[in-house]
Structure 1
Amino acid sequence: MTDLILKLLGARVEAAGDLAGARLAFQGGLGAGWVILLALALAALGVWTYRQWPPATTPARRYLLTGLRVAFLVLLTFLLLRPVLSFTVEGSVRRTLLLLVDGSASMQIKDPRVNPDDLKRAALAKGLMDPTKGLTQQPAPARAREVQNLNRLDVLKGALKNEKLDLLPRLDYEFDLVPFSFGTDLNALPRGKTELTEGEGEAKKVRRKAKIAQFDWVDKLEANAITTPIGDSLRKAVELKRGQPLAGVVLLTDGGNNSGLSPRELAAQLKQDGVPLYIYGLGITSPRDIIMANLFAPEVSFVKDEVMANVRVRSQGLAGEKAKVILKLGDTKVDEREITFGPDGEQVVALRFTPDKTGDFELEASIEARPDETVKDNNARVQHLRVIDSKIRVLLVEQSPRWDFRYLQAMFMRDRRVELKCVLFEGAPSIARDDNSPYLDRFPANKDELFKYDLIVLGDVDPRQLTPEQQRNVNEFVARFGGSLLMVAGKRFSPGAWRNTPIEQLLPVEFDAVNTATATGDGSAEKPVKLALTTQGRTSTMLRLADKDEESLALWKTLPPIYWVAKVSRAKPGAEVLLVDTDPLKASRFGPMPVVAVQQYGLGQALFVGTDNTWRWRKNVGDEVYTTFWGQIAQRLALPHVTGGSRRTQLTLDRQNFVSGERVSVYARLYRAGFEPVQEPVVKGSYTLRTGDGGGATEISLRPVPDQPGVYRGEFIAPAAGNYKLGVESDADTRVDFNVTAPRFELGDTAMNEPLLREMAGLSGGEFFREETLFQLPDKIRAKTERVRSPLEVELWASPLYFLLLLGVVTTEWVLRKLSHLK
């Protein structure tokens, strides 16, 4: 109707929309009073012209003819005012609407719908109930069984193909619908099928709504991606359509975000860009499920040495229920523990065992799956464990026999896993001459002597005791051959006297070249030093004093005090601070002063302990805490070198455990006899399954790293799940092991993340939907779509409609006059 009116007024049809308002204006230039006076005069003239009538004319016809004459003369007078109709036309610019469909593996989860509302939601999606009546209706029992165990992808397909909802045709009719599926990558889906046909008159397009069957890509949707990067996918989709007017994004997902950008931050950014999120959440919010979240155990252990494994178990909807956590080494059960589930959340279960033979094993923690669980294959975690019978070769170097030296020496000599050698510069020469003496008469003079050790413990030693070449050898031992250095600070020399030496380069802390004793006192201070674990320290296995986190923290708080710490400036960039002095007077702008810190240096590690008072921790408790502290540090630092194989072939990976499809980086440091670096343009390597039943080896190429003689680097993609070994062609006896597991990100949390999805919708200015409100989705988007108002002026006096009105009045009068036998 609007189009017809505007056509009669002579307006452009393509400018039409919905008329939001209209007003009349005059542009004639004459005063309204003069025009009205003239109109009255002409009206009087019209009445006067019909003063005489034929006798047969009825009064009604006389009045009608008089009125038509007066109307014609008034309309003619009205032209002098040049009337103009000003319309406000309201319309909307056709906008693009993005549709993102979750294609990750979690969409294959078959939710056990034991809650009646969850059954109703699945029935609504599948079209078994009226979508406008929500959860107040009941599905037929036979139909309810059809949806009881549908997976999330089938529920989604049902909603998109539901003719009662008619979602896709409605959205495609109102907007330029651009669909994508997303998982690890963002993939475009076929565009909509809405038809455009030629309308009548001017070249105007008419839209015809598509049929649901025309969106055939719905049946081809898959859910096999190993990750759900919701934030990344939204960002990529919006960037692809940047510059186009967007009505918003429709997101169909279970909310299982597990990689990439923060969805919350992106939702807030989309709000600023005027792109609201309309989110349909799939899945159930309280499924029953047991999830073996993590297994924490050492990668290497000693035979007949107790191994502690901590298991994080997450439960949902199982408060008060019991289960058994079983730990297996290979096929042998080595420990089990019964647990009681509390409210939804995690608990840590500590398990212990003692391996009795060497070799490579799979350590598995598991809980038997329950019949009512949502997912039954996320109840186990596996980690590779190598059990060895080698000894840690430790070189303990000291200036004088201070208390910490004595206790450390005694602890190492009692440990069957340690082969200890000591250098005591101020000791009597005769101590090195006794049979089976742990003492050496000098510090190792060359690389061959030094590089046979795994760990160097450097105490409060005068740097002048080591030649410049010996100091460089220590640096190379750590940086190039994967050894470890542990410095235990002292009041005479360490660390301050080592300023501007190759040893200083290794240390994870920065300090000034001052006399340490002068700067910090002689150690007889009566004021105790208060220490505190950092966030990294609380999670470090080196500083764990008990099986459970809370017990370990309690022990740290009850340790006897120490009375001296070495003055340092700060931790080096990249170093990890584990223990700090809480005294604010010793802090710097970088934070509290570090007392224990560690850093990776080249292929090896260096750890700094800034006190020689740990022997005080033996008070009232004996050796237990002291031995645990130093034993864990020594083992953690030395084991990578113990298991490194040949000293002339050093192979390292960025980590030991990978997920199939991840990128693996391997470094090789290769030397010939005499420790001369290899200088080949390419070094061939290969990896294969350790069991030998996975086919042939896969070759990789390693190429030289610039400016690092003997160092080679290569990359490859982690293969299918399994346990692998990697080596280089030049040294068949040296290998590095790594493990690949199938992706499990999608089974880490099986509940629909409704809080996240609701928050994202709110932050972006959109809305969250479940099946009971899904029918409102197209109307909600249309209601929030910005409408454009534009003025439209029509000169009424020159319009076809005004001309037709004049012609109609005068023609009617002429016809009536002829019927009345008037001239």
Structure 2
Amino acid sequence: MTQFSLPLAATKVAGDAVYEFARLESLGDAWWVGPALVLGLLALLAYVWSVYRREARTISVTKAIVLALLRTIAIAGLVAFFLGLEKRSSSQVVEPSRVAVLADTSLSMDLPDAEPTSSDRATRAEKLQSLLTKSPLLEDMSRAHDIDIVALGEATRPLAYMPQSPASKEGTAQQSKDDADLPEPFDYDKLASQIVPEGHETRLGDAIATTLERYQGLPLAGIIVLTDGGQNRGLELAAAAEAATDANVKVHAVGFGPTTAPANIVVRELIAPERAYPGDKLTLQAIVHAQDLAGQQVELQLSRRPATANNEEVAPGDWEVVETHTLAVVGTDALETVRIETDPPEPGDYVYEIRALPAPREAMLDDNAQQADVSVIDRQTRVLLYAGGPTRDYRFLRNQLMRDASFVVDVLLASSPPGISQDANEVLTEFPTTAEQLSKYDAIVAFDPDWSQLSAEQVRWLEQWVAQQAGGLIVIPGRVNTPRWGVDTRMRTIRGLYPVSVPEQLLDLRSDDDNRDTTRALQFTREGEEAEFLWLADSSDDSALAWDEFDGVYSVLEHNGPKPGATVYAYAGIPEVDDHGPAYLVGHYYGAGQVLFIGSGEMWRLRKLDTNYYDRLWTSMLRHTSQARLLQGSPRGKLLVSQDRYELGATVPVRVMLSDLQMEPLVADSVTLDIEMPGGRSDRLTLAADDARAGNFAGEFRVVLPGTYRLSLPVPDSTDELSRSIRVTTPQLEVGQTTRDTKLLESLAEQTGGYYYPSSQHALAGTQTLPNLVAATPSQSRSKRVIGSIDKQFARDQSFWLLAVVAGALCLEWIIRRLSYLA
């Protein structure tokens, strides 16, 4: 919350002097102090007079009285000195009543004020300006109050100060006769120019709390809130209202904006893959929110342009419209997901934009588009097929990948004799024995492998390849080798890679004896239906129809169920025998990589329906499991951020995982990350080593400009570079709610004892049951006496005369007593 300072003057209307005893003040407010002093003094005087009464027997009564009076005067002087009489200046001060006017300057105030059916297109900010600068509200209010006008939005800031009218101030009416003493006229034009919608947030609760804190102990007659009620950040309004109630301050709310949603189209999100490949389909999804447009057609345009270093300097002609789509709006408040497919262009970095063309009566056009960055890369995916035997799935997949130019396939057939010919880029005779050999692969597909043939070093490299180098692993159990390695206690690391809990005592692929010839239908979960890498067609519905035609599988690995955090995509169950059977398609993240489990090697059965189904499924599964590997840019590292999109002002945490030339965790104190920001600016961020994780480096930075940020980090001792792009957007909080929050404003006013005014006219004129705003805010001016400093001259004179009186009385008494032969 921003603190600010405005005049808080009080008017002195009268002045005189006051006298007080300092000793009594210092002794406190106990009730017994005064009576005790009086009784003590009376006791002392009684004793003095009793003594002189006895002396009256030897002298005349007159002398005895004179001596007693002199001693009484001396005692009185000492008592006066003890009490410490002080003289202070005193003035009567009038504290003027204050009113705080909080004017909403958030971006939502730039929306129309009237109802959607009205022809009035004035914005809420314009209506607010008119209320403050063109109506008599402030002038009428200033007759009883000092007025502070404050802007509220992301923070509070002072706009103007209007003092109470001089002619209405008690004791100053005569001073206003001279024109030179009159204050300068209030500048309404300057105030109007400062009420500009610019805040990306509305912190109404914070503004009220700041005002209460500033006026603590001062006569605050009320807080007037001029807003549409779009509270979306900061202190809860209920807490602010409670604080105002405790401070006995009423909050009056004047509402702006329509009570029904205007016609509007909001493109909420454009979801696109970060990487695309030539020859594949590029699928994008747009989430569109349509309000008050039921029965109408909305045209969506998908455009693209080459990415540039400065996204703000792009000519309209750089955009190329690649696809159009017509969306039929069904309901009055419809949220639709639009799926658009297009062919990727030549390799390079591109910006895609989905834009909804303006609809009739649409209120706001700034929220009609969203963008996403896509890199089209012409990089072949290197795949290792590791098979315990020449299963059908192995042979069909090998042949498919050899026909696809976007894949490079090496094979390792464990059951083949040395020198056998295989249709592959390279035929391996053993599993990769070094980290360098393994790191060249993006994905490994293991058909019934005998993992027990791997050395402990090879198992360690495989685990690190998945966890640290984001390798994609697809595992398919079989009848021959799976039971063999399943009981090997050395295979705990391998079992840890699997997304299902593999039992150590028994590992077998089986069907029930009574149902060995019965197929198990694949029953997809919701996650499986939404997983595009498992689609057999271009849409979810068409894919579901294709899978319904699939007869199913005959066997599945008996396991103990999916591990915590794993995603089950499909079960394999026997109809009318079990509910859904064991999990058949399961995946999970293992470190930076992904592992996909297929319950048996029977996907080749899809070829009976359509060979394209089989080819599409395996291509998509390989793309899915290896996507993190393909994004990292180097086998020796990975650049991680928590998300692809951030809002302006957010903090971006960055983590880098690096290995050295031997694929061991890199040892260094820090590494440097280059940041390219919008507008051609650049910066560098030092990432410090994480002592708890070898080879990990972390840091964070704050995004202060909207647009695309490109993060890049050169891999030490290499020509490779890790890169990642993030998009920073302006928060859309102010366009999410286009109507006035009447309920919130009514609750605020009711809780604090104030009034809610549904329009400016009601605030100015009131109704039979609702007083106008001026009448609802009576003056809280108060007067109080202000005690000034001690009169030092009076103190000196008092001390002199008290000393003279006490000394004179005692001396005179002594002389009389000597002359009377009493001393």
The TM-score bracket by the shorter chain reads 0.5 to 0.7
Which of 169, 181, 192 is residue 152 of structure 2 equivalent to?
181
1:294 aligns to 2:286 (yes or no): no
SS state at 1:293 partner: strand
The 1:234–1:635 alpha-carbon spacing in structure 2 relative to 1, beyond 3 Å, is farther
| Distance in 1, Cα, partners of 2:500 & 2:206 | 41
Q: Which residue of 1 is the match for residue 50 of structure 2?
A: none
Q: Which residue of 2 is the match for residue 350 of structure 1?
A: 339
**Residue 180 of structure 1: CA displacement?**
8.1
Q: Which residue of 2 is the match for residue 715 of structure 1?
A: 700
1:234-313 matches, cutoff 5 A: 253-254=227-228, 282-284=256-258, 285-313=260-288
| Distance in 1, Cα, partners of 2:157 & 2:582 | 51
**Residue 267 of structure 1: CA displacement?**
6.4
1:149 aligns to 2:138 (yes or no): no
1:650-661 matches, cutoff 5 A: 650-661=638-649
The range that moved more, 409-418 or 463-472, is 409-418
| Distance in 2, Cα, partners of 1:411 & 1:612 | 16
Are the counterparts in 1 of residues 270 and 284 from structure 2 also a CA contact under 8 Å?
yes
| Distance in 2, Cα, partners of 1:711 & 1:349 | 40
Which of 751, 754, 768 is residue 738 of structure 2 equivalent to?
751
The range that moved more, 269-278 or 490-499, is 269-278
Letter of the 1:390 counterpart: R
Are the counterparts in 2 of residues 720 and 740 from structure 1 also a CA contact under 8 Å?
no
Q: Which residue of 1 is the match for residue 618 of structure 2?
A: 630
Which of 516, 523, 527 is residue 531 of structure 1 equivalent to?
523
Which of 96, 105, 108 is residue 106 of structure 1 equivalent to?
108
1:323-342 matches, cutoff 5 A: 323-330=298-305, 331-342=319-330
**Residue 448 of structure 1: CA displacement?**
0.9
Are the counterparts in 1 of residues 658 and 665 from structure 2 also a CA contact under 8 Å?
yes
| Distance in 2, Cα, partners of 1:466 & 1:250 | 76
1:319 aligns to 2:308 (yes or no): no
**Residue 302 of structure 1: CA displacement?**
1.0
| Distance in 2, Cα, partners of 1:497 & 1:662 | 50
Q: Deviations over 1:268-297 (max 9, x none)?
A: 999999999987654333323222222222
The 1:538–1:270 alpha-carbon spacing in structure 2 relative to 1, beyond 3 Å, is farther
1:454-493 matches, cutoff 5 A: 454-490=442-478, 493=482
Q: Deviations over 1:461-487 (max 9, x none)?
A: 233122221111111112222222223
Letter of the 2:710 counterpart: K
The 1:326–1:283 alpha-carbon spacing in structure 2 relative to 1, beyond 3 Å, is same
Aligned length: 637
| Distance in 2, Cα, partners of 1:251 & 1:525 | 76
The 1:552–1:97 alpha-carbon spacing in structure 2 relative to 1, beyond 3 Å, is farther
Q: Which residue of 1 is the match for residue 357 of structure 2?
A: 368
Are the counterparts in 2 of residues 105 and 746 from structure 1 also a CA contact under 8 Å?
no
| Distance in 2, Cα, partners of 1:475 & 1:403 | 27
Are the counterparts in 2 of residues 289 and 317 from structure 1 also a CA contact under 8 Å?
yes
| Distance in 1, Cα, partners of 2:251 & 2:520 | 57
SS state at 2:441 partner: coil
Which of 649, 656, 661 is residue 673 of structure 1 equivalent to?
661
| Distance in 2, Cα, partners of 1:240 & 1:181 | 15
Q: Deviations over 1:222-247 (max 9, x none)?
A: 543334578x9699889989x99x99
1:657-806 matches, cutoff 5 A: 657-688=645-676, 694-695=679-680, 697-728=682-713, 730=716, 733-743=720-730, 745-746=732-733, 749=736, 751-752=738-739, 754=741, 770-771=758-759, 775=766
The 1:354–1:198 alpha-carbon spacing in structure 2 relative to 1, beyond 3 Å, is closer
SS state at 2:452 partner: helix
SS state at 2:626 partner: helix
The 1:518–1:507 alpha-carbon spacing in structure 2 relative to 1, beyond 3 Å, is closer
| Distance in 1, Cα, partners of 2:140 & 2:519 | 75
The 1:780–1:353 alpha-carbon spacing in structure 2 relative to 1, beyond 3 Å, is same
1:226 aligns to 2:200 (yes or no): yes
**Residue 746 of structure 1: CA displacement?**
3.9
Q: Deviations over 1:418-465 (max 9, x none)?
A: 11222232344443x457565422211111110001112233323312
Are the counterparts in 1 of residues 646 and 726 from structure 2 also a CA contact under 8 Å?
yes
| Distance in 2, Cα, partners of 1:473 & 1:656 | 30
Runs of 5+ in structure 1 lacking a partner?
1-95, 120-147, 201-211, 785-823
| Distance in 2, Cα, partners of 1:165 & 1:466 | 86
Q: Which residue of 2 is the match for residue 3 of structure 1?
A: none
**Residue 558 of structure 1: CA displacement?**
5.3
The 1:251–1:577 alpha-carbon spacing in structure 2 relative to 1, beyond 3 Å, is farther
Q: Which residue of 2 is the match for residue 447 of structure 1?
A: 435
Are the counterparts in 1 of residues 151 and 195 from structure 2 also a CA contact under 8 Å?
no
Letter of the 1:318 counterpart: L
Are the counterparts in 1 of residues 561 and 583 from structure 2 also a CA contact under 8 Å?
yes
1:391 aligns to 2:386 (yes or no): no
The range that moved more, 391-400 or 638-647, is 638-647
| Distance in 2, Cα, partners of 1:281 & 1:524 | 72
The 1:115–1:695 alpha-carbon spacing in structure 2 relative to 1, beyond 3 Å, is closer
**Residue 342 of structure 1: CA displacement?**
3.5
Letter of the 1:672 counterpart: D
The 1:695–1:379 alpha-carbon spacing in structure 2 relative to 1, beyond 3 Å, is closer
| Distance in 1, Cα, partners of 2:581 & 2:741 | 40
Letter of the 2:284 counterpart: A
Q: Deviations over 1:481-501 (max 9, x none)?
A: 222222334456289658862
**Residue 178 of structure 1: CA displacement?**
12
| Distance in 2, Cα, partners of 1:316 & 1:224 | 24
Q: Which residue of 2 is the match for residue 28 of structure 1?
A: none
Q: Which residue of 2 is the match for residue 9 of structure 1?
A: none
Are the counterparts in 1 of residues 451 and 494 from structure 2 also a CA contact under 8 Å?
no
SS state at 2:482 partner: coil
The range that moved more, 605-614 or 251-260, is 251-260
Are the counterparts in 1 of residues 410 and 424 from structure 2 also a CA contact under 8 Å?
no
Are the counterparts in 1 of residues 435 and 662 from structure 2 also a CA contact under 8 Å?
no
| Distance in 2, Cα, partners of 1:430 & 1:221 | 83
Q: Deviations over 1:512-538 (max 9, x none)?
A: 32423278758936263552323x444
Q: Deviations over 1:142-171 (max 9, x none)?
A: xxxxxx33333333454567867789969x
Alignment RMSD, CA only? 5.3
**Residue 706 of structure 1: CA displacement?**
1.9
Are the counterparts in 2 of residues 375 and 750 from structure 1 also a CA contact under 8 Å?
no
**Residue 300 of structure 1: CA displacement?**
0.7
| Distance in 1, Cα, partners of 2:576 & 2:752 | 49
Letter of the 1:745 counterpart: Q
Are the counterparts in 1 of residues 269 and 288 from structure 2 also a CA contact under 8 Å?
yes
Runs of 5+ in structure 2 lacking a partner?
1-97, 172-184, 306-318, 777-823
> TM-score, with normalisation over the residues of structure 2?
0.63
Q: Deviations over 1:92-118 (max 9, x none)?
A: xxxx999976553233234686623xx
Q: Deviations over 1:513-569 (max 9, x none)?
A: 2423278758936263552323x4444333444444554555555543344444444
Are the counterparts in 2 of residues 493 and 515 from structure 1 also a CA contact under 8 Å?
no
Letter of the 2:406 counterpart: R
Instruction: Give the share of equivalent positions with the same residue, in percent.
Output: 24
